[in-house]
Amino acid sequence: MKLYNKICGEELKHRLLESSEERTTLSFYKYAHIENPELFRNQFYRMLDEIGVFGRIYVAKEGVNGQISVPTANFEALKQRLDSIDFLAGIRLNVAIEDDGKSFFKLTIKVRGKIVADGLDDHSFDVTKRGQHLSAQDFNALTDDPGTLVVDMRNHYESEVGYFENALRPDVVTFRDALPLVEQMLENEKDTNIVMYCTGGIRCEKASAYYLHKGFKNVFMVDGGIIEYTRQCGEQGLPNKFIGKNFVFDERLGERISEAVVAVCHQCGGPCDTHVNCANDACHLLFIQCPACAEKYRHCCSSKCAEFSQLPEAEQVRLRKTEIFNGTKFTKGRYKAFRQGEDLVMG
């Protein structure tokens, strides 16, 4: 049995796009003690590959973090296989809100030092002493109090397209960056009710334990993150306080929660919340682009990238060694050509 995919990515993408098979996208995570992550990874790969699971899963000594899709016909088989693993038995599966089944095209399972890169010394505090989980109903009630602080523990390019009402949104590129910045932002709020949220809940599990360790008294987190909150609101008919789109780390790059568009196109400045990657693979910058600019720039982040992508492949390969593109200059979502001037738009 193979333990990794051996077919090229473009071929797998083509197969997925052409397939009519109904698939369900979901995420899950669990902090646990895994003695031999490499052995677990290989066994887990076999188990999931047999039922057609695609996705991205990280395994570490501290647990498992996965975003996957599974043939809908095999959804119960997936649950049974997860239930056969002691620490994953009964685990909550956060099913995607807006799903066309085209989220992942292959299965990748990697062994990492941590299931979420946080830069923390886990031996310095008890990660099991975490904040209090809030249901959607409890979140709405607590955040109706104007004295409650809501904190977005995601990255800036995630919160740019959607967020909870009145949330503090740190301008960071990574979760590792967010932890000390949020602590600094809240240094005078040790006794205040603080509610944190993220996409599926995993970042807040660790962050809440860390902030309790740092002396914050009343730390809460949205149980299951934005995904579970939205599901509960829909099922229970509750007001949904999330505005805009929920950024997701798969081929979809987002799922709509409300009709509000809170972001702008990074090229023209018009209302838009569609994340794309620059079509020039030598750049591949993540940015927001409206349909008009997509047509104007051939789905690229600049005229330079648009022109480069039209060159013969051999010429592109030769020039990649010396050319600098926006993806070289900027981190995810930092590029905003309409604010920086046509000189950068033109590359």
Active site members? 198
Contact 59, 30 (CB under 8 A): no
The 3-state DSSP class for residue 111 equals strand
